[in-house]
Structure 1
Amino acid sequence: MIEFNVKGDDRMKDGTVIVISRQYGSGGRELAHILSRKLGLHLYDRQLIHIAAAKIGIDDMKEGDLKQLEEEIPPLSLKFMPFYIFGMQGEKPLNNKMFEAESEAIRQLAKDGSCIILGRCADYVLKNFPEAYSFYVCADDAYRTQRGKTVYDGKSLRELKDEDRKRGQYYTYYTGNMWGDPSNYTASINTSRITLEKGADLIINYIETLQK
């Protein structure tokens, strides 16, 4: 059993899980850290890569290689069948094993107690958990362009959008849904129009309202 959770904010129900999905350059990771600080909940991000790697016996790989493996999807062919509907026959690609292991870890963490999970299709993985709330963090091009220069080592908007394209392909391959579609999330937050601090407060207030 995975035991990293800490006691969270008493205003929320036990077992509350907050999932953050985000456009690259929107400040979603920073917002998730702010939520973690405000609520006293553990944030799971890159730790999930190592948990999944250990589950499938490849924990001796370097983190960069694990991240690349996690983010890529198997090559598609004319016989491609969506993973989420048909499953796989025979030996599964290592990418799929990684996704399955991460999903198993995410579900276990959600069962263990309140926490925050960043990305990794957790909104889909936890769609049947009654106290899981998912938020899509986005921003307009001007905001992302500025953050690309100041926060993301000078990345251009085109580079940020290329990363989004890869995330979208990964999400669709494993869930069958469209990444960023508002219907897949509890709510969307546009960080171009609100500070990250206030964005975190908005999420907290929203969940508290739903739980009343």
Structure 2
Amino acid sequence: MKTNTIITIGRQYGSAGREIGYKIAEDFGIKLYDKEMLARAAKESGICEEIFETHDEKPTNSFLYSLVMDTYSMGYAGSAYNDMPLNHKVFLAQFDTIKKIADEGPCILVGRCADYALESYDNVVSVFIHADLEARISRISRIYDLPANKAKDRIVKTDKKRASYYNYYTNKRWGDADSYELCLNSSKLGIEGAAKAIEQYVLFKEGISDKQI
């Protein structure tokens, strides 16, 4: 299968969003970017990669933290940029990198407000993967060998961070159906089924576009 579409995937923690993305990437023969976005953004911006990892989908409102860590930040010129809090610099660098990756061709971008960064692009399908809480608890418990209560606590905290990050930097709400083109429940469809559903949606949409052209 071939596609000309860029797919962005937002996901609840434990919903297997990344694994679904990898399955789609394999079937379409395109690249998936997750943590790779951070390494590339760090290289291109000159900001230390560890700072990207620290801020990854975690908005920080600590002025003192930004002030201290800002001594490690380099790359962008101009007083307006230099006066920004570090978390804003990291977001802007990541934002630029997402656009550069998208300009290179079809791919899959996981998290990090990629749907917002690419909202002006015509060839983007934004997807949100969610799953029933019990299924997510079971998955996280199995992967990380955690008791159910610990797994649930990790899920709640991670989702809260992702929602705060997305809501802070975009004009949309994390997880709301109105914020995405397609929302799927992976606990109903499974990884394979969710991947196939997204692939069929993308191919169908491209077929409509081709007919209109």
Instruction: Classify the TM-score, shorter chain.
Output: 0.7 to 0.9
Judge conservation of contact 1:74–1:93 (CA < 8 Å) in 2: no
- The CA distance in 1 between the partners of 2:145 and 2:116, in whole Å, is 31
- Look up the match of 1:71: 57
Deviations 1:129-154 (A, max 9, x none): 11100110000111011102112342
Deviation of 1:207 (Å): 1.0
Pick one of 29, 41, 45 that aligns with 1:56: 45
Q: How does 1:55-204 map to 2 (within 5 A)?
A: 55-59=44-48, 61-62=49-50, 65-75=51-61, 91-154=83-146, 155-204=150-199
Letter in structure 2 aligned against 1:67? E
- The CA distance in 1 between the partners of 2:101 and 2:117, in whole Å, is 12
SS in structure 2 at match of 1:193:
helix
Deviation of 1:183 (Å): 0.9
SS in structure 1 at match of 2:189:
coil
User: Structure 1 regions of 5+ residues with no counterpart?
Assistant: 1-8, 78-87
Matched, 1:44 2:36: no
Q: If the length of structure 2 is used for normalisation, what is the TM-score?
A: 0.82
Judge conservation of contact 1:145–1:157 (CA < 8 Å) in 2: yes
Letter in structure 1 aligned against 2:9? I
Letter in structure 2 aligned against 1:135? V
Deviations 1:87-112 (A, max 9, x none): x7861112111111111111111111
RMSD of Structure 2 on Structure 1 (CA)? 1.8
Percent of pairs with identical residues: 34
- The CA distance in 2 between the partners of 1:205 and 1:192, in whole Å, is 19
Q: How many positions carry a matched residue from both structures?
A: 188
Change (3 A) 1:142 1:74: closer
SS in structure 2 at match of 1:26:
coil
SS in structure 2 at match of 1:74:
coil
Letter in structure 1 aligned against 2:53? K
Range with greater deviation from structure 2 (103-112 or 130-139)? 103-112
Letter in structure 2 aligned against 1:100? L
- The CA distance in 1 between the partners of 2:136 and 2:58, in whole Å, is 24
